[in-house]
Chain A
Amino acid sequence: MAILDTTGGLDTTAGELHEEHHHGPAKGIGRWLFTTNHKDIGSLYLWFSLLMFLTGGVMALLIRAELFQPGLQLVEPGFFNQMTTMHGLIMVFGAVMPAFVGLANWMIPMMIGAPDMALPRMNNWSFWILPFAFAMLVSTLFMDGGAPNFGWTFYAPLSTTYAPPSVTYFIFAIHIMGASSIMGAINIIATILNMRAPGMTMMKLPLFVWSWLITAFLLIAVMPVLAGVVTMMLMDIHFGTSFFNAAGGGDPVLFQHVFWFFGHPEVYIMILPAFGIISQIIPTFSRKKLFGYASMVYATASIAILSFLVWAHHMFTVGLPLVGELFFMFATMLIAVPTGVKVFNWVATMFRGSLTFETPMLFAIAFVVLFTIGGFSGLMLAIAPVDFQYHDTYFVVAHFHYVLVPGAIFSIMAAVYFWLPKWTGHQLNETLGKLHFWLSFIGVNITFFPMHFIGLAGMPRRIPDYALQFADFNMVASIGAFIFGFSQLLFVWNVIQNVRSGEKASAQVWEGAEGLEWTVDSPAPYHTFSTPPKVD
């Protein structure tokens, strides 16, 4: 309260402030444009993420439609490359990351007993620059020479000397996204470290909060590196430097080192919050405390630290010296240890619990199984000599889609189904939720499992057309993609219906739910914990 009063007192009268507190959200579009409320901003992030998920999904379906059969049917190779690039960028920076930030905004203050985020005005700004960044990125599709076509990893010199002119807009968009992420991360760290309710010690924090605290530090550490690498590209393209241009004495491999120094921790930025979500959901529906809370925290921190030491496993074929290959192989294999601990802890939590299988739990269980399959292929990829055969094939595509789709995306869906009754005050439509789950589960496996096979059989990634021996599994994968893609419309429908109407949800919502967020009404009032709760 004291904090709000002081900041409010600077530019508004006490009367206005008083009114705002007691009358809930402002009316009209102004509510959303000028909001500093963590719940409003959380909703904005989540809706934006859904829009980007559908946009990136349409691109994925266009890719799969072209790959349904050998030969070129729908798109030119140049446009195909624009689709793979934009699909990757939009899903990583537009769908997954904003969804997690949206969940953090909604849930972290309620989970730690804080009235709002620590820096509410910056919170508004970190969201509202995102639509501009993505509008600019998507607008490149209509520019002369087309959108970025060099893959989401944008390796130089394909992305510098040989890039379409729209690359400059891409660089600017990346800068804005990076600024948004850094501001979001600062806000989350400030909130968690300073605004916990009395008695909420660090080792009592819900695991979702812990995992986001660690993720936020990763973001602050690596987003400036991404900004650095795109700035070096900008200099090469427009100002005559030769960071990555071999003809000018530069080094194309330097690009990859800098990019992956960002890129690998980025991978964990997209999975650690998912670990946090799963660690909330599994105990709830097992009606049993999470097994090994402290080891979960240490495992998450270990994964985060190791993530800075493994970047060159993306570069085993660039010609690293032998010692380098060995170092990065060993460090990468080591990541399997804390990740294994997490999976074992989830299974031990379920063991001898009292399990029920509501929609969030189904997604959480599918997460554990399918993410682990992605982890297994990750372990295979870590073995450097074998990686020479896997690298840049569909085996890699299968691997990272297993950790990102039934991994990160399933965790986000689990989280939405889990907390939606708290947000809207309406009980979930379980029938629709379960239908969505089973169609997604089947679709995702039909799409991505055969990609392991075509990768091992020798199909490189990022090609618009392929040899005949890859035809059968490609057709299967495309069919799966359409099942998965269209079943997401059920999700959209279910969420919209839930926002509009539904059976009244209790404050507790789920029988086994524990934590401060379940002590407030459903829907959660516009302002929660104006008076801090007492945590024993």
Chain B
Amino acid sequence: MGMIRIISRSFPLTLLPLTARAEWTVNLSPGVTEISRSIYDLHMTIFWICVAIGCVVFGIMFWSIFHHRKSRGAKAHHFHEHTLVEVIWTLIPLGILVAMAVPATATLVKMYDPKDAGLDVQVTGYQWKWRYQYLDQDLDFFSNLATPQEQVTNDQAKSENYLLEVDRHLVLPTDTKIRFLLTANDVIHSWWVPALAVKKDAIPGFINEAWAQIDEPGIYRGQCAELCGKDHGFMPIVVEAVSPEEFQQWLVAAKAEKAAAAEAANRSWTLDELMQRGEQVYLGTCAACHQANGEGLPPAFPALKNSPIAVGDVGAHIDIVLNGKTGTAMQAFRDQLDPVELAAVITYERNAWGNSTGEAVSPTQIADRIGAAQGEGN
């Protein structure tokens, strides 16, 4: 089956950094929002209630185990019923639960109030990356895992934020109520940032709401929390909270960058330039399924090396990359990548691993194709 492999050389490599950075975290973090702090307080309250009940119940039990053992000559008493006692130990827990339910309800009501948000961000889960759209801002990007595959396979030492680093952070302003609108493109994902106490399922066909108001600037890391297929463990979330002024500056810069990328699609690109760019895009976007060596993981993820599509008709190749293939994990990359990236990655796939078509696909060719498809759609 080829699914089990032993990489013996990996063991010494990973053991060393571990001992140096022992953390032994044992508890929730209070987080950086008002809600996350009240959740933390609820968590600690219910925890101490459980500890107290445990001490009483186990205390009595161990007292019996110690004092009422036959080897110490204990004779069994014969009581086996007491209605009043039963009523008491039904009512006391009930009272504790009611006392606990009151603050829990109050916190929940606050969590369910996303009104008057200053910023709306749509979060869309894809297998296996996140898309962030700043609504009303004309800004939209994907955020992919940035940890290199070599660290995962233990061929390289692991970086500090191993598996919790992405190519593009979700930048958010502090002291602003931010509303998240969550949905998914394929299967169910769950967007979770512990420091914000936001965990909400991203479900295809549904739009869920959540909100957060971040008090402190900083980098907050999270992960997908709902099993979403092969690379569920490899789609982290990185939130970068900055002051509202810095956020405005970032918005301007991000939009300028987007315009520059659109401009780059109009100039002509050489085969070498495209191959170089294409390799980066391929490793970041395609290699999780089709593998860095282009051999894929058949049958779920077919090989590109010598595949009829990658060495055959270029139009068909462009179509499948733009539109995906329904019923498979192959997504539509039309919105995920810009024309330069699309042209580069298709060129790379047609000229790497011994696929030697020698063809360069130009960004304008891609832009035309997208334009034509939109024309048909209208």
Contacts and interface: CB of A to CB of B under 8 A. Distances in A.
Contacts of A318: 201, 203, 208
Interface stretch (A16-24, A155-163, A437-445): A155-163
B201 A368 contact: no
Interface stretch (B184-192, B348-356, B363-371): B184-192
Interface in A464-484: 464-469, 471-473, 475
Interface in B26-69: 26-29, 38-39, 42-43, 46-47, 50, 53-54, 57-58, 60-61, 64-65, 68-69
B54 A376 contact: yes
A497 interface: no
Contacts of B3: 75-76, 78-79, 146
Given A145-B299, A158-B227, A380-B43, A288 B14 contact: no
Contacts of A142: 1
A322 interface: yes
A463 B21 CA distance: 21
Given A78-B3, A317-B201, A329-B101, A72 B26 contact: no
B17 interface: yes
A69 B26 contact: no
Interface in B52-89: 53-54, 57-58, 60-61, 64-65, 68-71, 74-82, 85-86, 89
Nearest to A323: B112
A329 B80 CA distance: 34
Contacts, number: 320
Contacts of B231: 77
Given A78-B300, A252-B204, A460 B233 contact: yes
Contacts of A457: 23, 25-27
A293 B101 CA distance: 30
A158 B57 CA distance: 43
B164 to A, nearest CB: 5
Interface in B74-133: 74-82, 85-86, 89-90, 93-94, 97, 100-101, 104-105, 107-109, 111-112, 127
Contacts of A352: 64, 68, 74, 76-77, 79
Contacts of A467: 161-164, 221
B143 interface: no
A487 interface: no
A368 B61 CA distance: 10
Interface stretch (B5-13, B246-254, B316-324): B5-13
A365 to B, nearest CB: 7
Given A71-B151, A462-B232, A469-B25, A354 B46 contact: no
Interface stretch (A7-15, A119-127, A334-342): A334-342
B212 to A, nearest CB: 12
Contacts of B50: 376, 379-380
B76 A464 contact: no
Nearest to A315: B201
Contacts of A388: 39, 111, 197-199
A142 B1 CA distance: 8
Given A350-B61, A355-B64, A460-B225, 7 more contacts: A70-B14, A144-B299, A319-B208, A352-B77, A376-B50, A389-B43, A462-B232
Given A252-B205, A319-B201, A145 B300 contact: yes
A290 B79 CA distance: 9
Contact of A369 (B28, B43, B61, B232): B61
B161 A252 contact: no
Contacts of B76: 286-288, 352-354
A347 B108 contact: no
Nearest to A511: B70
Given A70-B14, A389-B39, A392-B190, A246 B153 contact: no
Interface in B130-161: 151-154, 158, 160-161
B296 interface: no
B260 interface: no
A456 B27 contact: yes
A288 B78 contact: yes
Contacts of B204: 157, 246-247, 252
A60 interface: no
A458 B65 contact: no
Nearest to A348: B85
Which 10 pairs across A and B sit closest by C-beta, in order of nearness? A246-B205, A463-B233, A457-B25, A376-B50, A79-B3, A319-B208, A289-B80, A352-B77, A392-B225, A354-B76
B222 interface: yes
A71 B229 contact: no
11 contacts: A74-B4, A144-B299, A157-B187, A162-B186, A291-B79, A326-B105, A365-B61, A369-B58, A389-B39, A463-B233, A471-B18
Interface in B203-247: 203-206, 208-209, 221-234
B228 A158 contact: yes
A134 interface: no
Interface in A386-408: 386, 388-389, 391-393
B90 A337 contact: yes
Interface in A126-164: 142, 144-146, 149-151, 155, 157-158, 161-162, 164
A334 B151 contact: no
A356 B162 CA distance: 52
A145 B299 CA distance: 6
B208 to A, nearest CB: 4
A495 interface: no
A194 interface: no
Contacts of A277: none
Given A353-B64, A373-B54, A385-B42, A472 B23 contact: yes
A465 B152 contact: yes
A393 B192 CA distance: 11
A295 interface: yes
Nearest to A250: B205
Given A343-B57, A453-B26, A355 B39 contact: no
Contacts of B160: 468
A139 to B, nearest CB: 13
A468 B222 contact: no
Contact of B153 (A72, A251, A336, A357): A72
Contacts of B188: 155, 157-158, 252
A77 B230 contact: yes
Nearest to A469: B23
Given A354-B74, A460-B223, A325 B108 contact: yes
B373 interface: no
Contacts of B198: 388
A375 to B, nearest CB: 9
A528 interface: no
Nearest to A295: B86
B200 interface: yes
Contact of B80 (A158, A250, A292, A322): A292
B15 interface: yes
Contact of B224 (A343, A376, A460, A469): A460
A161 B329 CA distance: 10
B43 A317 contact: no
B302 interface: no
B197 A72 contact: no
